[in-house]
Amino acid sequence: MFIACFAENLGDGNAFHAELSAVMRAIELANQRGWRNLWLETDSYLVVLAFKKVSLIPCALKQMNYVISHTYREGNKCTDKLASFGLDIQGLTIWLEMPSFIGSMFGQDRIGMPNFRFVNC
């Protein structure tokens, strides 16, 4: 099931900052829409650790039922594609319907098709 997605250009920063900002934005958008059940998935294990520390959890998230989990980038190609899209835009773009540029990847993720990382040695 597709609910919503977003991409945002954050300007300069590092990968941890981008992942943390994306999770915070997802919480904000879910809270604005009254969604109280949330599964946050990130390819940053450091972000997962940060959200498991109760004192660091944003107030809005404390009112939600949530799970935060780690997945490798290959485990969710849609978010990787959205992140790349965010590099080329100004500000925030939200889709309430699936954007065409992730449609095939979403279908592959949904049916459990594997994605592999190849490294040249």
Give the distance, in angstroms, between the CA of residue 90 and the centroid of all CA atoms in the same chain.
Answer: 18
Mean pLDDT of 37-58: 83
What is the predicted pLDDT for the residue at 1?
A: 66
pLDDT at 16 over 80: yes
- Distance between CA atoms of 84 and 101, rounded to whole angstroms? 11
- As a whole number of Å, the CA-based R_g of the chain is 15
pLDDT at 61: 73
* Token pair for 117: 């990382």
Longest Cα–Cα distance of the chain, Å, equals: 48
Position with higher pLDDT, 8 vs 76: 8
The model carries a pTM of 0.77
Binning pLDDT at 50, 70 and 90, where does residue 92 land? Answer: very high
